[in-house]
């Protein structure tokens, strides 16, 4: 029984840590750090839901409904994490294009003098 309480206390500590990190990241102004952090938290939630799927803890003992909810939650959160990654990569490409354009424009100004 002591292993169960050790597992439960570890689960509570990890969940609290993820929750607190999420609150801090949501309080930050929009930035790359915030986007990367939220994406990492989403992947952490996916990992936690997958672990809960195979753990002996059940919300409804004897019924696989809670495992189905964990799997659906993991799939939806993973899809959201992939969407965040694609959005972040798109913003990075746009930013690089703007920087190249500025560098090209700055090179023309210096060559005219």
Residue by residue, pLDDT tens for the chain (113 residues) are 778 888 888 889 988 988 898 888 888 888 888 888 889 889 999 998 898 888 777 766 777 788 888 899 999 999 999 999 998 888 888 889 999 999 888 765 555 55
* pLDDT, position 74: 94
CA 15 to chain CA mean position, Å = 14
* pLDDT, position 110: 53
* pLDDT, position 27: 86
Q: Is the CB of residue 79 less than 8 Å from the CB of residue 85?
A: no
Sign of CA dihedral 44, 45, 46, 50: positive
Sign of CA dihedral 13, 17, 18, 20: positive
Query: Residue for token digits 């409804």?
Result: 60
* pLDDT, position 79: 96
């Amino acid at each position: 029984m002591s292993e169960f309480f050790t597992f439960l206390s570890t689960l509570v500590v990890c969940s609290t840590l993820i929750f607190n990190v999420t609150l801090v990241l949501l309080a930050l102004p929009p930035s790359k750090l915030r986007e990367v952090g939220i994406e990492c938290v989403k992947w952490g939630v996916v990992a936690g839901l997958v672990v809960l799927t195979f753990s002996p803890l059940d919300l409804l003992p004897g019924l696989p409904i809670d495992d189905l909810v964990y799997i659906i939650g993991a799939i939806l959160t993973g899809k959201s994490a992939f969407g965040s990654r694609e959005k972040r990569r798109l913003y990075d490409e746009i930013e690089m294009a703007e920087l190249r354009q500025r560098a090209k424009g700055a090179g023309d100004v210096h060559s005219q003098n």
